[in-house]
Amino acid sequence: MKHSVLKVIVGVLLANNVGAQEPDWKGYAEVLKSVKSGEKNGTPLALVDYATLKQSGLVEKVYRQISTYPVTSLKGREETLAFYINTYNILALKTVVDHWPLESIKDVGSFFKPVWGRDAGTIGGNTVSLDDIENNKIRPMGEPRIHLAIVCASVSCPDLRSEPYTATTLNKQLDEQANTFLRNDKKAYE
């Protein structure tokens, strides 16, 4: 009897100490090393070396990691928001890499079915589009700065950050993204 009670107590203590843990973003950090400062059409921006990413297979590896991540284990607003911002950006990168070479991410879609509504991958066992992630996962969290963090792979959109978003630094990262975007008077006009 004593032994059984001890097992139950240990089990409860272990269960309570098992906290959520964000995915290991090291692979995504490697992908983001391909982001370099540059200029396109007179607009200073962060450029992505898509050819190198396609050749390396890193985006596919990171996608496989997030596609199998148990999203039900995400705890709290910041952890969930960081996960879905990173997921959106990874899926946008994957979309371009999967169709490389191309002039614009918009070339992947059509007039009747824009790229944003096309299947971009599987997350949490569900096939999702970029629109699904933005409108059904991120927007309901009520964070207006996400529009400066999710990246549509266009000159006019906010730059891809050179580091993954994390729960512990999310507010600081979002503030920095907003400041960087607003200081670039060439953005949003292309």
Distances (CA, A) of 71 to 62, 65, 86, 188: 15, 12, 13, 32
Q: What is the pLDDT of residue 115?
A: 94
Q: Is the per-residue pLDDT at 18 higher than 60?
A: no
The model's pTM is 0.86
User: DSSP class of residue 22?
Assistant: -
Under 8 Å between Cβ of 40 and 155: yes
pLDDT digits (tens, 9 = 90+) for 77-94: 999 999 999 999 999 999
Confidence of residue 188 (pLDDT cuts 50, 70, 90): low
Under 8 Å between Cβ of 161 and 99: no
Alpha-carbon distance of 169 to 75, in angstroms, equals 15
> Three-state SS for 36?
strand
Q: Which of 177, 12, 183, 157 is nearest to 82 (CA)?
A: 177
Task: List, in sequence order, the alpha helices (H) in the chain.
Answer: 2-17, 26-32, 50-56, 58-67, 76-98, 130-132, 170-183
Q: Which of 145, 169, 175 is nearest to 25 (CA)?
A: 169
pLDDT digits (tens, 9 = 90+) for 2-14: 444 334 443 433 3
